[in-house]
Structure 1
Amino acid sequence: MTQTVAQNGQGSKPASPYNHGEYFGALDGFRGVLALLVAVYHTPWESWFNNTPFMDQGTVLIDLFFVFSGFLMFRLYGDKIHDVGAGRAFMVKRIARLYPIHFVMTMMFLAFALARILAHKIGLSTQEAGEVLPFAAGAPENIWSLLSNLTLTQAMGLHDSLTFNPPSWTISVEFFAYFVFIAMLIWAPPKRAFHFGLIGAGVAGLYVFLASQKPNMDITHDLAFWRCLAGFFTGVIGARIYGIVIKDKSLNSVNSMSYTNILECAALLIYLLFVGYCGGKMQFLVGPVALLFVVVFAQDKGFISRLMMRPVFGYLAKISYSVYMIHVIIAIVFDMFGGRALSRIFGAGWHDTAVWGDLYILPYLLVVIGCAHLSVIYIERPGARLINHIFTRPKLASARQTG
């Protein structure tokens, strides 16, 4: 397979596995780590790690994903989408990337919902106070929420809570953010600093609006689209800043390794402190913090970047989307097993000491990684090929007829 290499003014960057001109190895590595952190964040059993300040405020981890996405989409496609045809081709690629595992996980959660109904009917489990069985009156999991999940509209303000596979809300809002991105590139492509200043003002306005509506950034099913837009276009601004940095020879001349390492350490420390100790309304300042993080680590220069470009983190990046999409159902299974089997073996308070909960996270993550690996091979890749074939077949047939 032929791989392309991008020049950044300081030599060549690593070969891109995506057949584009640029590959941001450190950001890719961080994406894999973030996916695992989100998987830990959603573990329902007691553990010391999940009760640290960093994980307690971990909802803003998601916003870095949005910023990553906006940065990468603008760097890779910002000069390639000029008309509706190019926009359509872009959306086909994104659907092929997002939908296969989303569809499979929606079906798995549907099966899980039906299994809960069956277990209740045969007396295997009883309905607890305040619990609503799936497809019962008032339940969030019903035929309408199933349809919204299948059409990727589940987080567009149609429901009062998350439904079926909880993490898929991000896929829903990012899918529709792509349409805004395409419309911008076709009808109002940003070229000058003034244009990006307007985008920045819009992003700031979105965060101000969200802060007026919510106590913190834990925004999912109702105003999540605006949260995603704010993060995504923060990434677009970051892509513009990065473009200036790598082209400006005066900025590139300041390339001593000690300076670069200090800058990376500072960016990482600021981000960690922000996530861990800035809760409540302070979380709405996530934009500039994530912007600094992305611009610094996109350059792939310092020792932290080189660490994140190691093969192990590259591997985590490749399976990160599957990790993100499948981990909740695995966490549920592990929690059920811990509550039933381990409680019988070690007693009902087996996880009262948080260290046991931390140890329990290790096999959980191993299973998540193993299942994600299989998901990439048997769901993501075949599903992407199928969708690409479906959307390109009419064009091929038309070409044969005219030929």
Structure 2
Amino acid sequence: MGSVQRFTTLDSFRGVFALLVVFYHLHVVGAFIELPFFRRAEILLNFFFVLSGFVLAHSYGMKAGFGFKRFIVSRVFRLYPLHVVMLLVFILFELVRWAAYKKGFSLNNVPFTGLFDPSEILPNLLLVQAWTTLTETMSFNYPSWSISIEFYIYMLFGALCLLSLRNRFLMFACVAVVAFTMIFTENEPLVWRAMLGLSCFFAGNITYLAYLLVRDRFVPVRWLMTVFEVALTYATYWMVMNDFSDRSPIASLTFCVLVLVFAFEAGLVSTFLKTAVFRLLGKLSYSIYMTHAALLFCLSTVFIVAQKLTGRDLSPMINGQRFMDTGSELGNNALVVAVTLVAIGLAALAHKYIELKGVELGKWVTGASNGKAPVNQTISSGLKPQIDRAA
């Protein structure tokens, strides 16, 4: 097999899982997203870390002349623009809530307290909110906690890539093995989200090495790869639906196998995931992930205000969780579909006007620092795989 520069199927997986994260955070009475699978989908976040490790190993791990500065600049401009914009959006939300609060109109808690305390702004800006017990991991734009973990793992990855090819992959393996061992033995020296990210990301690096070792020695048979793909898809479903000892690390290792198999894009499931709608979700995955919390916040606020104005129970609290309710099962399911479409549309705008602009600016900065003319191209062009986006 020739060298693969795009992993379209894996990109589609990231998009589907990003949409499942939206469903996980959206609560609508009696809608299909309240089925057990969608309520337990938090385990799928492990997949994002594994896939990021796989992709960065593909993009940078095999480079003999690795440029640390160029790598870090590209990562900063890849992640930060949309992260900062969404942080500002949530600060604006709190300012609006504060103005309403001063007018005697209360929406849930007091503005700028708890998860939205001003002391959490700097940790979020520095992307350290998920690394310590002294900060609120889920503060402001709560999905950004995983970006917080990934950002500093990227730093470690970049530093290790300064070693020789052999030694860097040896260190990748060491970090993964040590992290998984500490998780299985419950001796984690860091917060669990950091241990999760370290174990999954560097296991993804090693998964890419396994892919390289297998790729040129294995001719995929379509029916056999279809069996593998279906089996791993079912295994993912089973792990979401069931509780068992060491569920999270076992799921992480299973995702390594899933990424390895689907990287070959040789089965019928892969063919299905390469259709246009899934490719679109893959392209927009980072923006879907980073913008959906703001959308849900606005929608929930609308339902709370409507409840106060009409006296109808449109925004009930159920088991400590704020839900939305249009008053009918059909209306609630239609609401979920509408939210999904709006989330995708909002992500498309963020992708075009923020995400890609940041990528282009990063290319200009790295090009200017190297004395080269700016290169005007999208993230999916050239030798970088389309899937090279954070999650």
Matched, 1:329 2:294: yes
Does the Cα contact within 8 Å between 2:82 and 2:354 map onto a contact in 1? yes
User: How far off its partner does 1:197 sit?
Assistant: 5.4
Structure 2 partner of 1:208: 184
Structure 2 partner of 1:243: 212
User: How far off its partner does 1:123 sit?
Assistant: 1.1
Does the Cα contact within 8 Å between 1:45 and 1:335 map onto a contact in 2? no
Structure 1 partner of 2:389: none
Task: Describe the shift of the 1:82–1:394 C-alpha distance in structure 2 as closer, same or farther (beyond 3 A).
Answer: closer
Task: Describe the shift of the 1:103–1:256 C-alpha distance in structure 2 as closer, same or farther (beyond 3 A).
Answer: same
Deviations 1:146-197 (A, max 9, x none): 1121222222214044211000111111010011112222136446997675
Task: Describe the shift of the 1:320–1:342 C-alpha distance in structure 2 as closer, same or farther (beyond 3 A).
Answer: farther
Task: Describe the shift of the 1:179–1:40 C-alpha distance in structure 2 as closer, same or farther (beyond 3 A).
Answer: same
Alpha-carbon distance in structure 1 between the residues aligned to 2:171 and 2:268: 34
User: How far off its partner does 1:60 sit?
Assistant: 1.2
User: How far off its partner does 1:73 sit?
Assistant: 0.6
Does the Cα contact within 8 Å between 2:288 and 2:344 map onto a contact in 1? yes
User: How far off its partner does 1:29 sit?
Assistant: 0.9
Alpha-carbon distance in structure 1 between the residues aligned to 2:275 and 2:50: 22
Matched, 1:70 2:48: no
Structure 2 partner of 1:186: 162
* SS at 1:153 equivalent: coil
User: How far off its partner does 1:309 sit?
Assistant: 1.0
Deviates more, 1:339-348 or 1:64-73: 339-348
Task: Describe the shift of the 1:44–1:52 C-alpha distance in structure 2 as closer, same or farther (beyond 3 A).
Answer: closer
Structure 2 partner of 1:16: none
User: How far off its partner does 1:346 sit?
Assistant: 11
User: How far off its partner does 1:375 sit?
Assistant: 0.9
Structure 2 partner of 1:19: none
Alpha-carbon distance in structure 2 between the residues aligned to 1:363 and 1:319: 17
Does the Cα contact within 8 Å between 2:225 and 2:266 map onto a contact in 1? yes
Matched, 1:7 2:14: no
Task: Describe the shift of the 1:389–1:307 C-alpha distance in structure 2 as closer, same or farther (beyond 3 A).
Answer: same
Alignment equivalent of 2:8, drawn from 4, 25, 28? 25
RMSD over aligned Cα, in angstroms?
A: 2.9
User: How far off its partner does 1:245 sit?
Assistant: 1.5
Gapped regions of structure 2 (runs ≥ 5): 315-324, 373-391
Does the Cα contact within 8 Å between 1:199 and 1:237 map onto a contact in 2? no
Alignment equivalent of 2:225, drawn from 234, 250, 260? 260
Task: Describe the shift of the 1:362–1:262 C-alpha distance in structure 2 as closer, same or farther (beyond 3 A).
Answer: same
Alpha-carbon distance in structure 2 between the residues aligned to 1:388 and 1:373: 21
Does the Cα contact within 8 Å between 1:82 and 1:185 map onto a contact in 2? no
User: How far off its partner does 1:140 sit?
Assistant: 3.4
Matched, 1:59 2:42: yes
User: How far off its partner does 1:347 sit?
Assistant: 4.2
Task: Describe the shift of the 1:108–1:193 C-alpha distance in structure 2 as closer, same or farther (beyond 3 A).
Answer: closer
Gapped regions of structure 1 (runs ≥ 5): 1-5, 14-21, 398-403
* SS at 1:238 equivalent: helix
Alpha-carbon distance in structure 1 between the residues aligned to 2:187 and 2:74: 36
* SS at 1:166 equivalent: coil
Alpha-carbon distance in structure 2 between the residues aligned to 1:319 and 1:152: 22
Alpha-carbon distance in structure 2 between the residues aligned to 1:61 and 1:93: 26
Structure 2 partner of 1:92: 73
Name the aligned partner's letter for residue 296 of structure 1: V
Name the aligned partner's letter for residue 42 of structure 1: H
Matched, 1:299 2:274: no
Alpha-carbon distance in structure 2 between the residues aligned to 1:345 and 1:148: 39
Matched, 1:310 2:275: yes
Structure 1 partner of 2:153: 177
Does the Cα contact within 8 Å between 1:53 and 1:277 map onto a contact in 2? no
* SS at 1:156 equivalent: coil
Alpha-carbon distance in structure 1 between the residues aligned to 2:115 and 2:309: 32
Alpha-carbon distance in structure 1 between the residues aligned to 2:279 and 2:308: 37
Deviations 1:63-120 (A, max 9, x none): 101111000111121121645xx01111111111111111110100010111111110
* Equivalent runs, 1:256-295 vs 2, <5 Å: 256-278=221-243, 281-295=246-260
Alpha-carbon distance in structure 2 between the residues aligned to 1:193 and 1:114: 47
Does the Cα contact within 8 Å between 2:120 and 2:136 map onto a contact in 1? no
Alpha-carbon distance in structure 1 between the residues aligned to 2:140 and 2:244: 28
Task: Describe the shift of the 1:241–1:278 C-alpha distance in structure 2 as closer, same or farther (beyond 3 A).
Answer: farther
Structure 2 partner of 1:17: none
Structure 2 partner of 1:18: none
User: How far off its partner does 1:47 sit?
Assistant: 4.0
Alpha-carbon distance in structure 1 between the residues aligned to 2:160 and 2:60: 12
Structure 2 partner of 1:381: 356
Structure 1 length-normalised TM: 0.81
Does the Cα contact within 8 Å between 1:206 and 1:230 map onto a contact in 2? no
* SS at 1:123 equivalent: coil
Name the aligned partner's letter for residue 356 of structure 2: R
* SS at 1:110 equivalent: helix
Matched, 1:163 2:126: no
User: How far off its partner does 1:244 sit?
Assistant: 1.5
Does the Cα contact within 8 Å between 1:140 and 1:159 map onto a contact in 2? no
